[in-house]
A and B are shown apart, each in its own frame.
Chain A
Amino acid sequence: MDKLNDRFSTTMLTIALYVVAIAYLFPIVWLLLSSLKTGGELFSFPLSILPENPTLENYTYSWNTMDFMKYFINTMFVAVTTTVLTVLASATCGYALAKYKYKWLNVFLICMLATTMLPTEVIMTPTFSVILNLGLYDNLAGLIIPSINTATGIFMFRQYFLTVPNDLIESARIDGANEGRIFFNMMLPIAKPVVITLAIFSFQWRWNDYIWPLLVVSDPDNYTVQIALRSIVGADNIDWVLLLASSIISLVPMFIIFIVFQRYIMDTSATSGLKG
């Protein structure tokens, strides 16, 4: 009787889980299906669920009108460069905060905490002045340099290095290794899971970022993918055919990264640094 009851509740809960899962998946599927329909079919009633004559026309149209190649290269350059620098800076900084005991380091830790409270969104206007005065306006470097500093990345490394025993460092010191060698030859390799997790996070932040490009970029030659999309969706008359296909194109790099690194992204122990 209990067995039967168990099986019944397992079936019901699994069905409930998948009903919700399909509801989550549907908007993406609907966008994908819509992007394969011709312009005429998109705006005819009653709607068709599956495209009648699936076509990739919208994609060629989008690729040709939008100069997507350029936006991809711009965004990719910004995302990859920032990610490398972010990982390096966060690892060294997190290591210092975990392993050296100085009062001023604690003060700096509190300062970094404060950055989570006062994000760029809140101080857009003065940030813009700073960008302008440093000559970073309408320059891809203006997207890279300010984004290197991330409290989340620093905390992830700090939490991780706190779990590394100090004896390990002490014995290396006794062997005569200097602090830089200890960090680069021993500590950074140990922290590989955090390096990969932060790299994925950082790439996603930069690829999907909107606020910084909005402040920094104005020339279409410097557009990132998100700003290009915004220029379509912000028009008075939205060109949906263009917008739907362009949106799908913009998702491709993140989905590829997800497929390749799924193990690291979904492994919750690696994100434990976020839990402070």
Chain B
Amino acid sequence: MKDTNKKWAFLFVFANLVLFLIFFAGPALLGIYYSLTDYNGNVATFIGLENYINLFQDSSFYKAMSTTFLYTAIGVPFVYIVSLFVSVMLVSPRTRGKNIAKVIFFFPWLISPIVVGVLWRWMFGESFGFVNYVIDLLGGNPVPWSSDGTFAFMVILFATAWGGTAFNMLIFIGALVSIPKSLYEAADVDGGNGWQKFWHITLPSIRSTSFLVILLAVFNLMKEFPMVQALTNGGPGTDTTLIVQYIYETGFDQMRVGYASAASMVLFVILLVFSLLQFRFARGGRADG
């Protein structure tokens, strides 16, 4: 009896197990190997840690890496705050027409990263974009949204928040509606105002959800690529080139597979450290179930 169950269990996970080995474990190990060679698509010669040594002296790698960190450091809180704000408004007893608003906020989820990039590129066009047109109507000077690195970076942040709200909103709303009403009623009796209720009841109650949203957002932003490629193509120059685009260009356009693999491994270690830190943090301070 026990033995047949074991067979069934194996059968049930078989497909995923095979796919995991071929398309995850395989490439991961191959990536480690490549990173120790000068593989360029033809021949691979073992060169030890040379790729890693070169990588840490490569200013274009540092630039892509620091742009990605900056993007994550500003983008994650931005996405978090916007998503939470929208979600709180959508569960508040003081707003009307929630269903329509919820559908509107959900629309960006349907749209592919490429089209998100196209949308925002079109909105923020320098000569014929809607935003500069409005600025012009208000008497301002056109803003160099795509030819200035800082402004291009801002447009990417807007697009990120716009595209990321929908999914986080679903997660947040699920958590917000399960906060017991009695907590708010007790606060009402004590005369707490809206802001105090949010700070002392809402935020602590959704703590584990917040960790999840932040963890997912960190991963999504650290590996952002298609949306930015369509929006700025990493430009002007390489001002908005993020690490995954850097890896792609190094590995496929320049065919420096070994070097790109070394960059991949560095990115992997960073993601690993992030998630270990966050799991530790989340476990240590768990306030709700």
> Could you tell me which A residues sit within 8 Å of B by CB distance?
6, 9-10, 13-14, 16-18, 20-22, 24-25, 27-28, 30-31, 34, 42-43, 45-47, 85, 89-90, 92-93, 95-97, 100, 102, 105, 108, 111-112, 114-130, 134, 145-146, 148-149, 154, 178-180, 183, 204, 207-208, 210-211, 214, 226, 229-230, 233-234, 240, 243-244, 247, 250-251, 254-255, 258, 262, 265-266, 268-269, 271-272, 274-276
Contacts and interface: CB of A to CB of B under 8 A. Distances in A.
Contact of A226 (B114, B260, B268): B114
Contacts of A272: 174
B195 interface: no
Contact of A27 (B94, B123, B127): B123
A251 B144 CA distance: 29
Contact of A254 (B25, B101, B110): B110
Contacts of B115: 229, 247, 250-251
B186 interface: no
B244 A24 contact: no
B95 A24 contact: no
Interface residues of B, number: 91
Contact of A18 (B97, B137, B225, B275): B97
Contacts of A95: 12
Among A43, A124, A128, A145, the most chain B Cβ lie within 10 Å of the Cβ of: A124
A179 B4 contact: yes
B170 A271 contact: yes
A117 to B, nearest CB: 5
B162 A24 contact: yes
Contacts of B11: 92, 180
Contacts of A183: 12
B245 to A, nearest CB: 10
Contact of B23 (A114, A127, A240, A269): A127
A146 B23 contact: yes
A20 B86 contact: yes
B17 A18 contact: no
B27 A123 contact: yes
